Amino acid sequence: MAQREIGSVILEVKDISLSFGGVKALSGVSFDVREHEVRAIIGPNGAGKSSMLNCINGVYTPQHGSITFRGRMFGHMNSREVAEMGVARTFQSLALFKGMNVVENIMSGRNLKMKTNIFQQALRLPFGWSAAEREENEHREVVEHIIDFLEIQPYRKTPVGRLPYGLQKRVDLGRALAMEPAVLLLDEPMAGMNVEEKQDMCRFVLDVNDEFGTTIVLIEHDMGVVMDISDRVVVLDYGRKIGDDTPEAVRANAEVISAYLGTTH
């Protein structure tokens, strides 16, 4: 992977513990994410990977530990507040508006950026441009740039429910990019894809990191993908951290091999 300029720490997770009843999902997990890097989180099913992303983007509130983003520590924030800070998220299960077309789905990612209220948006003045119309045009320009970037121009007006799975994943990525996040959390962005679709998504993830300057944190099971595109990898097993290093060092870590990689990988 080509060397990219990595900045200082933008996100720090410190001693995070999360339990559901008597079940520990995370136990004292700490790691940091540096600006402009691609940071992978790996581990077996049930290791706590998605739970960690849910803590970072405000879906879950950990019982112990802290999360600091751009020097600001936050705890009891909801997902919208975290998104307003500059953290966006995609999920394993697509949550697109299947009856809406590609433009409309990606446009929904601009909601946090819109300043006009619902009444202004509903009102169309009989003269000139209303504030809502001007704003909508500005946001649509951003959306059209993302559509061009993700190479989905031919499907702009297609309801996303009619698109192949791999293209729906691109639309999901586009909606997250529309929020203009500083940090983008990707939960298994290549799950369920064939080889060609995975290659395309890898390219887009790296291009997002390079061209948009977006810091990427991703969960991924395909170790070939992780080794190819990640700058650093943190490894979880049964909710605790067992590795945190470069892809090469993690691949050679005996505890990681035993817990996750195994002899078949």
- Considering the domain architecture, whether residues 117 and 238 belong to the same structural domain is answered as no
Give the lowest-confidence range in 33-37, 57-61, 125-129, 182-186. 125-129
> Tens digits of per-residue pLDDT, 220-242?
888 889 999 999 999 999 999 99
Q: Give the domain-ending residue among 131, 148, 180.
A: 180
Question: Quick count: other Cβ atoms within 10 Å of Cβ 18?
Answer: 22
Helix or strand (DSSP H, E) at 185: strand 183-187
- Considering the domain architecture, whether residues 103 and 160 belong to the same structural domain is answered as yes
Residue 191 has, within 13 A of its CA and on its CB side, a CA count of: 13
- Considering the domain architecture, whether residues 135 and 215 belong to the same structural domain is answered as no
> Quick one: DSSP state of residue 153?
G
- Considering the domain architecture, whether residues 11 and 137 belong to the same structural domain is answered as no
251 is a domain residue: yes
Q: Whole domain around residue 19: which residue ranges?
A: 1-86+181-265
Average pLDDT, the chain: 87
Confidence of residue 164 (pLDDT cuts 50, 70, 90): very high
pLDDT at residue 116 in the model: 53
More confident residue, 127 or 165: 165
pLDDT at residue 265 in the model: 40
pLDDT at residue 185 in the model: 97
- Considering the domain architecture, whether residues 77 and 208 belong to the same structural domain is answered as yes
> Tens digits of per-residue pLDDT, 108-150?
988 877 665 444 444 455 544 566 677 777 888 999 999 999 9
91 is a domain residue: no
Q: Give the domain-ending residue among 159, 180, 201.
A: 180
- Considering the domain architecture, whether residues 238 and 121 belong to the same structural domain is answered as no
More confident residue, 261 or 37: 37
More confident residue, 136 or 65: 65
> What one-letter code names the amino acid at 93?
S
**Rounded distance between C-alpha atoms, residue 66 and residue 81, angstroms:** 16
Give the lowest-confidence range in 2-16, 191-205, 244-258. 2-16
- Considering the domain architecture, whether residues 165 and 185 belong to the same structural domain is answered as no
> Tens digits of per-residue pLDDT, 19-55?
998 899 999 999 999 999 999 999 988 899 999 999 9
92 is a domain residue: no
Confidence of residue 156 (pLDDT cuts 50, 70, 90): very high
110 is a domain residue: yes
- Considering the domain architecture, whether residues 146 and 76 belong to the same structural domain is answered as no
Helix or strand (DSSP H, E) at 215: strand 215-219
pLDDT at residue 236 in the model: 95
- Considering the domain architecture, whether residues 80 and 195 belong to the same structural domain is answered as yes
Measured at the CA of 139, the angle between CA 4 and CA 201, to 5 degrees, comes to 40
Domain tally, the chain: 2
34 is a domain residue: yes
Q: Give the domain-ending residue among 124, 157, 180.
A: 180
60 is a domain residue: yes
What does R_g of the chain's alpha carbons equal in angstroms?
19
Helix or strand (DSSP H, E) at 27: strand 23-34
- Considering the domain architecture, whether residues 107 and 213 belong to the same structural domain is answered as no
- Considering the domain architecture, whether residues 140 and 185 belong to the same structural domain is answered as no
pLDDT of 257 strictly over 90: no
pLDDT at residue 52 in the model: 96
- Considering the domain architecture, whether residues 198 and 247 belong to the same structural domain is answered as yes
**Rounded distance between C-alpha atoms, residue 131 and residue 154, angstroms:** 30
pLDDT at residue 115 in the model: 63
pLDDT at residue 261 in the model: 55
Q: What are phi and psi of 167, to 5 degrees?
A: -75, -35
